Structure 1
Amino acid sequence: YCYPYIYTLNNQAPNARCFSVGDTEKRFMGVMNETVVGGGQVIDWKEKGEVVVIPGLWDGHGHILALGEMLEGVKLYGLGSIEEVRISLETHLKANPTLGTKEKWLRGIGWDQSLLFPDEKNPHMPTSNDLSSPLLSDKYIMIDRVDGHCLWLSAAVIKLLPDPLPTHIPGGEILGNGSVFCDNAMDMVYDVYPDRVLDRAKVIARAESAMKELNKVGVVGVHDAGMRKWEVEGLRWMAEMSISSVRLNIMVECEIRNTYCGGEGESGVRNIMGRTENGMLSVYGVKIFADGALGSWGAALLSPYSDKPETSGTMLINSTALQNVITEWYNSGYQVSTHCIGDLANHLTVQIYKDLLSTSHYTPPNHARRLRIEHAQIIAPEDQDLIQSLGLIPSIQPTHATSDSPYAEIRLGRDRVQNSAYRMKSLFDRGLNVVLGSDFPVESHDPRNGIYAAVTRKNPYTTKEEGWHKEETITVQQALEGFIKNPAYAMWAEGETGEISVGKWADWVVLGYEDEALGAKFWEEGWVEKGGDVRRLKVLETWVGGRKVYDASAEER
C-alpha cells in the first residue's frame, strides 16, 4: 500500500511512503520510505487534495452500546428552551410512531438545565409537566442529561416507579419535583426500563450501528467504559467471528455497580478476561464510579460549590467502601479504572492507588498495573504531583473542558479552575501516558473534534474566537499520542498498536485536506497557527486489520 505521505508515529522512522500487510496475521510486515513498483491504490489521490496516512485513531473513553442506542434517539444538545425540546421530541415521534410505548420508550440525550432556563442564577431542573403536549402526554420518555448523570422522565414512566419515591438515596437524588433522577437514583429507573437487558441480537445490532459511525470518522478502536458480562459476551462473539470493525478494550461493570464480581462462575467475570486472538476485543479490568458530574452539582468536591454553597457534591460510594472495592479488584489481579470528576473523588482514589502501589518495584510504580482515573477533571495540585510520581493514567476528554467552560468557573470559582480543573498540558508535561477520548455519546464521537478542542481549547461546535484557559492547550503531536499511542499503553498493547511499524496491527486512516497552501500534514509545527483546522480534515478511508471498513468515495456514490 503506497500513499503520498505516511506519518507513522514511530519515533525511529516517522515518515514512510509504503507498507505491506501480512495475509494471515493482518499486521504491518514492511514499512518503506520509497514507492514500491506496482504498489499503491487504484485511486487518483490528487483529486482529494493533499492526502496523508496516520495510524488508526482510538477513543480512550466511550460507550459503544449507548452510542448505538442514541443513534435511534433524539439529540437535544444546545437547545435553549422547553419549547424547543418539545418540538424536537414531537418531530422525532412523528418520524418514528412506534416509539413512546411501554415496551419501547422514546429515548434522547443532551438537555442542560442551564441552557433551558438561562435567566435563572441557579437553573432549576425540568419536570414531567414540561414534557406535556397533546402528542407527548401519555408517552414513555426518558432523556439523559448532557453528562449522562441524570434522567428526565415523563409522567408515564414515573408511574412505573415506587410510590412514594424514596426521600433519601445514598449517592443519588431526585430533583425536578420527582421528574429528574441523578446518579444512584437512576438505578430504580433502569430497573423498569424495557431495554435494561438486551438479547444478543440487539447487542450486536447496536454495536454494528455504532461501529459503522465510528469508522466514518477514522476510529479503529475504543476503550469502552463500562459493560456488563452478558454484553461483553455478545461483543466477544462478534470479535471472534470477525464481524467487528472496531477494536474494543472493555472495562466491565457488575450487575450491581461498585461491587465485586471478579470470581469464577456464571455471575463472575473471570472467564471473559483476556484478548481475542485477532486483537479485536480485550477485557482486563473493571470500572468503578466514585462521584457524579459537575453540571448537575454531583461531582464530589473538597470544598463547597461556589454557586451552591450548601453542597459539596455527591460521592456515589463512601470512602471506606470505595477503598474496599478497589482493593478487592486490585488484589484479584484486575486493572481498575475509577470515574473521578471532583477533587474529593480524585483525592480519595489517588490515595487508595498510592497505598496499593506502595510495594511496587517498577518505575513508575503503576507501570505493571496501569491503574486509570477516568475523566480526572478537577485535581488538587498536590494530587497532580502524586499522580505524576505514581505514573497513574489520566483518561481525559478534551471536549468536556470546552463544553463545561460556560459554567465551570461559576461552579468552582476562579482559583479552582486556575489551579485544579481541566488540566491537559500540565499532565502531558509531567510525562504521563494521558489517554484522550470523548465519552460518546455524551460528546461527539468524532476525534477531530477532540483534537481541535485539545489544541485550541475552543468549543468545536461553536465559532467562539478565544480559547478557554489556553495555557492548557497541547500540541497536535501530543493530541495524536493521546488518541493513538497512549490508549495502546493503557491496555498493555504498546507492542501491538499505536504506530505504523513492523509487527503492529494493520490499522490506518487516510485523510485529505483541500487547502493546498496549508497541506494535510496537520501535526507539523505551526500548522494550526497558520489557520489549519483539524475539523476540516476529511476521512477518506479507514482500515482495521488490513480490511477497509470505510470508504468515503463509496459513500458518495
Structure 2
Amino acid sequence: MTSRFSQFLLIAIALIFFSSCSDKNKESATIIIHGGTIYTVDSTQATVEAVAVKDNKILFAGSLEDAEGFKSEQTEIIDLEGKTMTPGLIEGHGHFMGLGYNELELDLMYTNSYQEIIDAVAERVKTAKPGEWITGRGWHQSKWDSMPEYTVKGFQTHHRLSEVSPDNPVYLRHASGHAGFANEKAMEIAGLIALSADGVKNYEIEGGEVIVDQAGRPTGIFSERAGGLIGKHIPANTPESNNQAFNLAIEACYKNGITGFHDAGIGRGTIALYDRMKAEGNMNIRIYAMLTGNDEELLNEWYEKGPHIDPDHRFTIRSIKLNCDGALGNRGAWLLESYTDRPGHFGLETLPMEMVDKTARNGLRNGFQVCSHAIGDRANREILDRYEAALTELSMLGTDHRFRIEHAQHLHPDDIPRFAELQVIPAMQAVHMSSDRPWAIDRLGEKRIKEGAYMWQDLLQSGIPIVNGTDVPVEPLNPIASFYASVSRKTLKGTPEGGYEPEQKMTREQALRSYTLDAAYGAFEEDIKGSISVGKLADFTIYNQDLMTVDEDKILNTEVVMTIFDGKVVYEKED
C-alpha cells in the first residue's frame, strides 16, 4: 500500500511539475481583441470570437475562452464593444505620393463645374507668390452639372482660367491622370503659344494629343503624353515637400483602414525616398511597389540585381508598371471600335506594344511581375496577346508569374475567359464603375457597356481573383465607397435602383476578399497577410458597424474607427 501511495505521489508531483513548466513556456499575448464580430477571410473559420497577438504576429484566432489562455499581466485587452473587425485593408492600385501631394495641392475632386475650378484657382492666386506655379488635380468634365457654352472636343478652353491667373502659370491634372489643363501663362513658358500660328502640325506628339481650336491654337487641354510638354517646366518637388506628402499619405491610409498599398509606378526619386524612410524607421505602411516602365534604364538595372523582397514587409519591389493606353474620360482608352461620341477616334496606344512584349519576357526571366495599365478593349487584347506569347515561349521556366492588367475596365467578351486561362490577375477599382458608368455609356454605347464593361462576376466565375482599390488620387482613398460600388453597382448617390448591370455585382464576401486576401495574392503576399490566420502579420481594420450584414443603403455610413498596424493601434477615431 505504501509503495502504491508513493507511486501515486510521484506521478502527481510530475504532473504538477510538467503543468507548471508548460504554463511558463506558453506564449503570452501582447494584445487580445474580442467583443465584436471578427471576419477572418480564412476558409477554415469565417468568424472568430477573439484574436491574440504577440508583437506583430497573430498568435491565436478562435474562441474567447481559448484566447484568454494567452493572457498575462502585460497583455493589453481591446474590447470591440460590438464593432466589427477584418484583416487590414490593402489598396490594390494607387499612387502613394500622389495621395500625399493631393493634400498639398488644389484638390478639385469634388468640383461640379468649370466655374468652381475658376473660383478655386482665383482663391489660390491671392496667396501665391509672383510667378509661382499653381497645380492641382481632380477635375472631370463628364461629372460636371453643366458644361461651358464654348467647348472643343468636349473640353473647356483656357480663356477664363487665364483671366483669373494672368501671371501665375496653372496646370490642373484631370481626375484620371491622363490629361491636364493649362492656362496661357503655362503654355507661354512651355513655348507653345508662339507656335500656334503654324497650326496643328506643331502639336503632334506620339501617344498624346494637344487639343486645338479651329484656328490651330491650343485650348489648354493636353491629353496623355502631351502633358509632358507642360509638366517638364513645373518645378520639381523639394525634399521637404516630399517628406510632408509622404507623412500625409500614411495618415490618410490609417484613417481609411489601409495597412498595405500597391504603389502603381515609381521612379528613382521615389525609390530613394522610400529607402530613406525605411532606413530611418518611418516606413510605417506596407508598400508593394511597381517600377515605372517609363525608365527602361531603371528596369535594366533591376533585372540585373533582381527583386527586393523586404524581410520586414515594409517596402518590396518585384513588379513593373506599364502605361499602355489612356482613360475613357479623356477618350484616351484604346478601343477596337471608335468612340460612340467621337466617331473615327479610337483612343491612344501610349506605349508601343513591343515594350510590353519585351518587358513580359524580361519579367519572366528575372522574377518580376508585369502590371500593364489597360482600360480600352483593344489595349486589354493587345496586352493579353503579348503576355500569352511570352508565357508560351518561356513556359519551360514554370514561373508563378501572376502578371496583372491594371483596371481591365472594358473588355471584348472573347477576352474575358483569357484572364483565367493565362492566370492574369485583373486589378479593378470598383469605385470607377460608380463614378464613370453614368457617362461611360456615351463613350461606348449600350451594347459594349453591357457585354464588356466592369465585368467583375464573369471574371470571378472564370476562376481568377480580382484585386480591388481606388486608383487614388484618381478617386478618394475611401475603401467603403469601393466596397459599396462592388456589391451594389450603384453610384454613390444610390442610383439606379438595382444597380447597373446587376448580374456583375460582387457578393460581400467577394468584395472583402478583393480588398484583403485576393489583394495580398496579387502581390505574392497571401502567406503573410490578407486574412486573420495564425502566423500572419497583425494588421486589422475596425468599423463602427457590420458592413457584411448592414442594409445596402447603410453601407456608406460605415466608418473606420480604429486601425491596427504591425500589432499597434495607429489610428483611433475620436468620438
Name the counterpart of 2:168.
139
User: Any idea what SS the aligned residue of 1:413 has?
Assistant: helix
Name the counterpart of 1:549.
570
The partner residue of 2:464 within 432, 440, 451 is 432
Matched, 1:337 2:371: yes
The 1:467–1:72 alpha-carbon spacing in structure 2 relative to 1, beyond 3 Å, is same
The partner residue of 2:473 within 441, 447, 451 is 441
The whole-number CA distance in structure 2 between the counterparts of 1:358 and 1:479 is 32
Q: What is the CA distance between 1:361 and its match in structure 2?
A: 5.9
User: Any idea what SS the aligned residue of 1:251 has?
Assistant: strand
Name the counterpart of 1:8.
40
User: Any idea what SS the aligned residue of 1:54 has?
Assistant: strand
User: Any idea what SS the aligned residue of 1:351 has?
Assistant: helix
What runs of 5+ residues in structure 1 fail to find an aligned partner? 514-519
Name the counterpart of 2:314.
280
8 Å contact kept, 1:78–1:111: no
Query: Which whole-Å deviations, capped at 9, do the CAs of 1:213-271 have from their partners, x for residues lacking one?
Result: 111011111101111022122113323433123211010115xx27453233xxx5755
The whole-number CA distance in structure 2 between the counterparts of 1:81 and 1:447 is 26
The 1:73–1:245 alpha-carbon spacing in structure 2 relative to 1, beyond 3 Å, is same
Q: What is the CA distance between 1:274 and its match in structure 2?
A: 1.2
Matching of residues 223-372 of structure 1 within 5 Å: 223-254=262-293, 257=294, 259=296, 261-264=298-301, 273-358=307-392, 368-372=400-404
The whole-number CA distance in structure 1 between the counterparts of 2:103 and 2:398 is 37
8 Å contact kept, 1:65–1:210: yes
The whole-number CA distance in structure 1 between the counterparts of 2:166 and 2:257 is 41
Q: Which has the larger radius of gyration?
A: 2
The 1:32–1:293 alpha-carbon spacing in structure 2 relative to 1, beyond 3 Å, is same
Structure in which a larger fraction of residues adopt helix: 2
The whole-number CA distance in structure 2 between the counterparts of 1:17 and 1:239 is 35
Q: What is the CA distance between 1:199 and its match in structure 2?
A: 4.6
Percent identity between the aligned chains?
26
Name the counterpart of 1:172.
208
The 1:74–1:230 alpha-carbon spacing in structure 2 relative to 1, beyond 3 Å, is closer
Q: What is the CA distance between 1:422 and its match in structure 2?
A: 1.3
Name the counterpart of 1:190.
231
Name the counterpart of 1:517.
none
Matched, 1:540 2:561: yes
Q: What is the CA distance between 1:329 and its match in structure 2?
A: 4.0
The whole-number CA distance in structure 1 between the counterparts of 2:279 and 2:59 is 23
The whole-number CA distance in structure 2 between the counterparts of 1:462 and 1:423 is 20
The 1:245–1:464 alpha-carbon spacing in structure 2 relative to 1, beyond 3 Å, is farther
The 1:44–1:486 alpha-carbon spacing in structure 2 relative to 1, beyond 3 Å, is closer
Q: What is the CA distance between 1:114 and its match in structure 2?
A: 6.2
The whole-number CA distance in structure 1 between the counterparts of 2:319 and 2:502 is 34
Q: What is the CA distance between 1:30 and its match in structure 2?
A: 2.0
Query: Which whole-Å deviations, capped at 9, do the CAs of 1:347-396 have from their partners, x for residues lacking one?
Result: 0000111111115669xx99701100000011111111211211110000
Name the counterpart of 1:386.
418
TM-score by length of 1: 0.88
8 Å contact kept, 1:2–1:18: yes
Matching of residues 515-530 of structure 1 within 5 Å: 520=546, 522-523=547-548, 527=549, 530=551
Query: Which whole-Å deviations, capped at 9, do the CAs of 1:293-342 have from their partners, x for residues lacking one?
Result: 11111111111111111211111123334423443444333211000011
Name the counterpart of 2:247.
208
Aligned residues: 525
TM-score by length of 2: 0.85
The whole-number CA distance in structure 2 between the counterparts of 1:360 and 1:472 is 34
User: Any idea what SS the aligned residue of 2:570 has?
Assistant: strand
What runs of 5+ residues in structure 2 fail to find an aligned partner? 1-31, 197-201
Matching of residues 12-27 of structure 1 within 5 Å: 12-23=44-55, 26-27=56-57
User: Any idea what SS the aligned residue of 2:189 has?
Assistant: coil
Q: What is the CA distance between 1:120 and its match in structure 2?
A: 8.6
The 1:113–1:459 alpha-carbon spacing in structure 2 relative to 1, beyond 3 Å, is closer
The whole-number CA distance in structure 2 between the counterparts of 1:361 and 1:108 is 43
8 Å contact kept, 1:301–1:312: yes
Matched, 1:106 2:135: yes
Q: What is the CA distance between 1:532 and its match in structure 2?
A: 5.4
